[in-house]
Structure 1
Amino acid sequence: MFIRRISNTIHIQAPGKVNLFLDVLQRRSDGYHEIDTVLCPIGLFDELSFEPTAGKALNLQLDFPERQVVASVDEQDEASEPDRAWDIPSDQRNLVLRVVDQARQRLGIQSGANIRLVKRIPAAAGLGGGSSNAAAALVACLTAWHGWDRALATSIAADHGSDIPFFLGDERGIGLCRATGRGEVCEFFQEKPHLPLVVLHPRQGCSTAAIYELFGLQANDSDAPRKHPKSQKIIDACQNGQAQNVGQWLFNALQSSAEKHNRWVTIQLNLMRECGARHVVMSGSGSSCFALVADEHVRKQIVKRSKQMGIDRAYAVDSCFCPSVESQVDRLASLS
């Protein structure tokens, strides 16, 4: 994330992410699955602003600059329908309000705030938008009310979402990261490779719960979970300064389940391959898919073909690396 302050309002650009691999292991006693994954932040950003107020109310305003009514690409569906990517609540169901409210309780204060969130990362995509927003909200409210406190932020994050700790980064910054456990145990790599991507998201998203349920039905519970052989190759490449070569090993254990749940996953993967991309995979629990592709012509072709197919969210973006929250907050203090 990138942090700045204008007057008494804190503004944060909150990035999305893709999974270079996602391995799903055994089911835990708490109902979650053990996972192993490498996360890569990408240059697709939501924007959060946080203005402390004298009152007690927490007000959240959501803006959707890309929201539109899209016509169905199915001939049998004559009516237009709203784009479900932007069906995001502005009440206590939103992670932003939940983490800010918990921070307020933990700090023992009753301060209020006006929060504005400009959404460009679609929901139900596997791109981490909700978790990134929650991380940004934690940074903003703690910085404004109390001073940045990594231990407190990490504690609150653990209660609300597996990806939130990743978006908080560590004392060195936010970048390539191996995440294990439920996804909350983060080990950040030092390497900051330039990874050119094209990220797609169709109008039909995927429910994380539904995809994991379908994955569980397909899995044979009598089989002991085994680590995918490609996962260690990607981990080694990230550790040894060879992350630009990971394309050949991309995989996602949830992809086949998602393809059965949402035909657009297969459509996206095939479209990117037909345009010349060799390294393609689904991100998270879907429905977004992405290609690692450096050829600018291929990138443009994917974006063009996607829009022709009714996939309006087609982003040619790169990997994104951010300074640590600590260094950015210290810089803000030095400027005030």
Structure 2
Amino acid sequence: MIIQRTTTGLDIAAPAKVNLFLEVLSRRSDGYHEVQTLLCPISLFDRLSFEVTEQSKIEFQLHVPAAHPQLAKQQADPAWDIPTGDDNLVVRAVQRVQQALGTKLGCRIELHKAIPAAAGLGGGSSDTAAAIAASLIAWQGWNRQLAMQIAAEIGSDVPFFLGGVSGIGMALATGRGERCQWLAAQPALDLIVTHPPVGCSTREVYLNYADYGEKRDFRKIVAACETGQPKKIAEQLFNTLQLPAASLTDWIDRQMRLFAANDVTGALMTGSGSSCFALTDDPSCVDRIRCAASALGLRRVYSARAWYGDSIEQQLSRQYS
């Protein structure tokens, strides 16, 4: 995340992510799954503004992109089907920080969405991490231990988006995805991300997964990242949830065929879907894919890069120095 102070409070850019590797190890007794996944933040950002108020009320306003002209006026776009009440993760996270601090202060939050929901891009988790950071910084001061604790309570991917003490970047996540080991590696990766007209329910994708046999070794892709070799990274892309997601919607295979027809270095579904991404070393293929995607009914195509940033501590230290 990128933290900026404004005249009225804080403005935070919250990045999306892709999973370069995702393996499901086992189903746990609590209903969750043990996973092993390599997460990479990318340069597609939501923006969250946070302003302290004297009353304890949490005011939340959501802004989403304008509806695509091809959508009927009465048809909701599932990419922006996001709750705005107490069931919104951002609101829940800020309420939890309020309780933990025992503060009577409130806030006014505006969230400007660019990352589609139900996509496997981590937009909701990234927004939640941004809200946790903003509320702690604004109300009392940054507290990494408390932030990580609340993040893990709220959602599996949320701790990743808070980054490590040495920076924000790639991480190997285990457990439910909440235990992160940040990598020093910062390979330069150019990506094309697509998002279809339908989303994927994480719950349904996991319910459709039943292969707990031999597992793929993550060490090869980590080694490729550490040596900064995009083509070797592309060779090791893997997501064990891609097949169960593809059995729920044909949009997964449609996106993968689109990439295969346009000579990308490698392609994969991210998270539990429904977005897919491709690694490419040919800038000209972005326009080709965008044009072909439009003909298929894929309205959202993003050009992005792997994104790496300073830690929250480093950013705050600069602002106070």
TM-score above 0.5, yes or no: yes
Does residue 304 (structure 1) correspond to residue 291 (structure 2)? The answer is yes
Give the CA deviation at 1:322: 1.1
Residue 325, structure 1, aligned to residue 312, structure 2: yes
Q: Segments of 4+ in structure 1 off by > 4 A? A: none
Once residues 69 and 102 of structure 1 are traced to their aligned partners in structure 2, the CA distance between those partners, rounded to angstroms, is 39
The DSSP-based 3-state class of the residue aligned with 1:133 is helix
Change in 2 beyond 3 A, CA 1:194/1:171: same
Residue in 1 that maps onto 2:92: 98
What is the Cα deviation at residue 241 of structure 1? 4.2
Residues 1:68 and 2:68 aligned together: yes
Q: Which runs of 5+ in 1 are unaligned?
A: 73-78
Superposed displacement of residue 296, structure 1:
0.9
TM-score (norm 1): 0.92
Task: Tell me which amino acid in the other structure corresponds to 1:60.
Answer: F
* Residue 42 (structure 1) aligns with: 42
Percent of aligned pairs with the same amino acid: 46
CA contact (8 A) 2:52 2:108 kept: yes
Residue 237 of structure 1 deviates from its aligned partner by: 1.9
Distance in 1 (CA, whole Å) between partners of 2:146 and 2:129 is: 12
C-alpha contact (below 8 Å) 1:70/1:81 kept by paired residues: no
Distance in 1 separating the partners of 2:260 and 2:66: 26
Shift of 1:69: 5.4
Counterpart secondary structure, 1:212: helix
Inter-partner Cα distance in structure 2 for 1:328 and 1:188:
18
- Cα distance, 1:215 vs structure 2: 0.8
Q: Confirm or deny: 8 A CA contact 1:15 1:42 kept in the other structure.
A: yes
1:304 Cα deviation after fit:
1.6
Structure 2 counterpart of 1:164, one-letter code: V
Provide, for residues 11-48 of structure 1, a one-character-per-residue CA deviation record: whole Å limited to 9, x for no partner. Answer: 00000000001101111111111101100100000000
Q: In the TM superposition, what is the alpha-carbon distance from 1:50 to its structure 2 partner?
A: 0.2
Determine if contact 1:234/1:243 at 8 Å carries over to the other structure.
no
Does the 8 Å contact 2:125/2:157 carry over to 1?
A: yes
Q: What residue ranges of structure 2 are gaps of 5+ in the alignment? A: none
1:257-282 CA deviation, whole Å, 9 max, x = no partner?
11110111110000111112241110
Compute the RMSD of aligned alpha carbons: 1.5
Query: 2:147 aligned with 1:143, yes or no?
Result: no
Aligned to 1:313: 300
Does the CA-based 8 Å contact 1:258-1:285 persist in structure 2?
yes
Q: Distance in 2 between matches of 1:311 and 1:241?
A: 31
User: How far is the alpha carbon of 1:238 from its aligned partner?
Assistant: 2.5
The 8 Å contact of residues 70 and 82 in structure 1, kept in 2 or not, is answered as no
Go from structure 1 to structure 2 and tell me whether the alpha carbon gap of 1:170 and 1:205 turns closer, same or farther (over 3 Å shift). Answer: same
CA offset digits 1:30-84 (Å, max 9, x no partner): 1111101100100000000000001111011000124435348xxxxxx972211
CA distance in 1, matches of 2:86, 2:74: 29
CA deviation string 1:181-230 (max 9, x = no partner): 110110111111110000000110100000000113xx3xxxx643214x
Contact 1:26 1:225 survives alignment (8 Å): no
Q: Provide the aligned length of Structure 1 versus Structure 2.
A: 321
